[in-house]
Amino acid sequence: MSDRTDWNDLRERRMTEPGAVEAYEAARIAFELGQTVRELREGNGWSQTQLAQAACMTQSAVARFEAGGTVPTLPVLERLARALDMKLDVRFAPNADAA
């Protein structure tokens, strides 16, 4: 018999630890924001360096952001939005699970 656990068991145990759900949610949001910025950047035909210059950032900061490696501040999101000729729209929306 093996004492090894599979991924689902490990994830289930980890999600019961204090702060795990919040950390997972923050990572999801960072990933989705990064993915959106990457899609907008690529839609403009820009490199990361071009976006970085337009947003007064470094290329490595843009790369980390697009990979979901950082949780951005509102000023950073605003600079990215302006550079991409977009309007930043932060709002509260009803929870899809609410009935």
Q: Tens digits of per-residue pLDDT, 32-81?
A: 999 999 999 999 999 999 999 999 999 999 999 999 998 889 999 999 99
User: What's the CATH superfamily of 13-83?
Assistant: lambda repressor-like DNA-binding domains (1.10.260.40)
How many whole angstroms separate alpha carbon 84 and alpha carbon 99?
A: 36
CA angle centred on 74, ends 73 and 76, rounded to 5°: 70
**What is the distance between the alpha carbons of residues 58 and 83, in angstroms, rounded to a whole number?**
13
**Exposure pattern of 70-82 as b/e (b: 16+ CB <10 Å)?**
eebeeebbbbbbe
Domain ranges of the chain: 13-83
- What is the mean pLDDT of the segment spanning 13-17? 82
- For residues 45 and 1, the answer to whether their CB atoms sit within 8 Å is no
